[in-house]
Chains A and B, each alone.
Chain A
Amino acid sequence: MSTYFLCLILFCVGLYAILRKRNIIKMIIGIVICEYAINLFLILFGYKMNGRSPLYSPDQQILDMVDPLPQAMAMTAIVISLATTALLVGIAIRIYEKYGTFDITKINKLKG
């Protein structure tokens, strides 16, 4: 219960950076922190107390494994988050080349 709430606080730190910061790199960092929090929440949700890793061995019988399905889904999400982060950083680099700043309040030449 408290573990879930700590994970929610981590998400809120990222959300604060997205909402409040003016630097584009800080906003990207906020998105990355949100991705960390969501992936960690999926894994926390599938954790079984005193469980084992979801790896079978041919020799011995392993009974109490943790939930493997959130791990498979989070693996997909991690790889996609790398691609989206690279795309965001690419857009930020192009904005810096065009306007000479990362400050979103200074980028005001979007018309025409």
Chain B
Amino acid sequence: MIEINLLLIFIIIAAIVAVEVKDLLSSVVAVGVAGFGLVISFLALKAPDLAITQLVVEILCLIILIRATIKIDLPFSTSGRWFVNTLACIAFLVIFLSYGYAAISSLPSFGNPLMKTSNFYLGETFKTIHATNVVSAINLNFRAYDTLGEATVLFAAAIGIMAIMRKKGKLTKAGKDDESE
């Protein structure tokens, strides 16, 4: 309980550093710190499959973000209505937090989950599927169509990245690349 709170405070500090630091590469590294804190908190919350997945995803995400920011440095600009914008943003966040506090007050308390559906899965996994890993059994057996949809979304995103990042456009009549328009 107390170690999970400490890990969450660590992640929040890393996230604040990532949002507020001026250098973009330092910001990306601070996001990596938050992600690896998340991996450790998944391990502390007894979710080892998720910790492995998050570790791989975190490293790939870091590589992609560093690819975007490695040669680019942007000066920080405070022009415009800086004070009014910040005040409006913080007011919105305070309202959001108060409503969120009211919402999480009605949830079951931490450490006592509702396990209506999960008790079925926990009972059936070893009896009918003979699998030992319950999370894999849910992903690949009970809810296999969900995983199929996930793979569809993944390939759709890959096609989108290919369409955005390709260098050559359509050929014009003159035979040149139509990159300028």
A-side residues, CB < 8 A to B, are 1-10, 12-17, 19-23, 25-26, 28-30, 32-33, 36, 39-40, 43-49, 51-58, 65-69, 71-72, 74-76, 78-87, 89-94, 96, 101-103, 105
Contacts and interface: CB of A to CB of B under 8 A. Distances in A.
A20 B113 contact: no
A30 B61 contact: no
A111 B158 CA distance: 28
Given A14-B15, A40-B41, A83-B153, 16 more contacts: A2-B5, A4-B104, A13-B15, A17-B19, A36-B15, A36-B34, A40-B11, A53-B46, A55-B48, A55-B132, A66-B47, A68-B121, A74-B50, A75-B53, A87-B160, A93-B67
Contact of A67 (B12, B24, B107, B115): B115
Contact of A66 (B46, B105, B143): B46
B111 A48 contact: yes
Contact of A68 (B53, B64, B96, B118): B118
Contact of A86 (B28, B72, B133, B161): B161
Interface string B70-92: 00101001001000011001101
A76 B146 contact: yes
> Which among A2, A20, A105 has the highest number of chain B CB atoms within 10 Å?
A20
Contacts, number: 232
Nearest to B120: A69
DSSP majority for the A interface? Answer: helix
Contacts of A84: 157
24 contacts: A3-B8, A4-B110, A8-B100, A9-B97, A13-B19, A16-B89, A16-B93, A20-B85, A29-B28, A32-B61, A36-B15, A36-B38, A46-B113, A47-B111, A53-B47, A55-B48, A66-B45, A68-B135, A71-B47, A85-B64, A85-B65, A87-B161, A89-B67, A93-B67
> Which among A45, A67, A101 has the highest number of chain B CB atoms within 10 Å?
A67
A57 B11 CA distance: 33
A25 B27 contact: yes
A78 B68 contact: no
Given A44-B45, A48-B112, A87-B161, A79 B154 contact: yes
